[in-house]
Amino acid sequence: MTKVAVVQIKADTDKKNNLKKILKYISQAASKGSSLCTFPEFMMCYTPSSQSAKELASIAEKINGEFVLSICEAAKQNSIQVVGTLYEKSPKPNRVYDTSFLIDKNGKLISKYRKIHLYDALGFKESAKLYPGSSITKPVKTSVGKMGMMICYDLRFPEMSRILATSGSEVLVVPSAWVKGKMKEEHWLTINKTRAIENGCYVISPDQVGNIYCGRSIVVDPYGKILLDMKQKEGIGFVDISLDEVKQVRQKLPLLQNRRTDIYTNLKI
């Protein structure tokens, strides 16, 4: 069994205030024996609708900037792996990447993923401020298993989690900032459970709480059991996961093996 920490925060508009909070949570997670500490999407700062694309771009940083380097140092000092997010500078003026990153226990940045599905739905238009990534990041070996990285709205596209699972992912980590709204919490819970069940993997989804977000940070096991639901409480939660569970479920319910890729194709109309 390996212990994982899930942090549910209400992000401030000031990234320095958020960074202080993040560093404290990393230390707290390590003190409880966690091997991995996971954070939500947009943990760098809350972006109100009144903030312009130019203003957001002005506070974005490079992946090797002060924000991420501070987290790398905390990971090293506490000997813990960290999954976090940032607004990353992009080549397009007044647009930023929504990027998640993985840091190992030695403080080294070992993987990053730029969100490919922007939330242009249900009255929102992320593409007005964000710039989409162009690829799915390969799963990475970690102490909690082979990890696939996704972000929030990506959960609604089953192709992505399936590609990550068939590429070897045993754990999907999905930093999120799930917006409140009609049936949104039901969608959140259902989709997280479904992604876990159909791929026989753990799904770890730390979420933002407060502001316009619904909270409910969640961890689901490979058979669809909710191991952690943080409801509306800001703070840190802990859960134990086991790769043996992934192996057992995939043997009993071999969905990845039973696929008929020989006949899957788009149907001509």
pTM: 0.97
- The two tokens of residue 56 are 């957001």
pLDDT at position 94? 97
Cβ atoms within 10 Å of 44's Cβ, excluding its own: 26
Which pLDDT tens digit goes with each residue over 161-206?
Answer: 999 999 999 999 999 999 999 999 999 999 999 999 999 999 999 9
Q: Which two tokens stand for residue 240?
A: 């134990």
**pLDDT tens profile 53-105:** 999 999 999 999 999 999 999 999 999 999 999 999 999 999 999 999 999 99
pLDDT confidence band for 269 (50 / 70 / 90): confident
Average confidence score pLDDT of the chain: 97
Using one digit for the tens of pLDDT, what is the confidence trace for 24-53? 999 999 999 999 999 999 999 999 999 999
pLDDT above 90 for 268: no
d(CA 64, CA 56): 18
Domain 2-258, second-level architecture: 4-Layer Sandwich (3.60)
Torsion of Cα atoms, 191 then 194 then 200 then 205, to 10°: 20
